[in-house]
Amino acid sequence: MDVLGDILRTIRLRGSVYFNECFCSPWGMSIESGAKAAFHLIVRGEAWLTMSGQRKPIKLNAGDIVLFPYFDTDS
């Protein structure tokens, strides 16, 4: 049983892969808010997530998923 897949189909989630990369230390990226939700999956190793308004970075490990939702405030 694929519970996550069932949930994503129920909420009619669709998506695209913009890139699938292997990053090596040191690296970083900045992501601006947009019209679509975004997610990142840590497959191997670790990463640090820093967000504006947060004082401390969050350590991410292999298997962690970060979801940046988009909420349409015009609806």
Average pLDDT in the chain: 77
With 0-12 / 13-18 / 19 or more C-beta atoms within 10 angstroms meaning exposed / middle / buried, residue 64 is middle
pTM: 0.59
Q: Does an H or E element contain 69, and which?
A: none
Residues 65, 72 contacting (CB under 8 angstroms) = no
Q: Which residues of 16-29 are buried (b: 16+ CB within 10 A; e: fewer)?
A: eeeeeeeeeeeeee
Q: How confident is the model at residue 21 (pLDDT cuts 50, 70, 90)?
A: confident
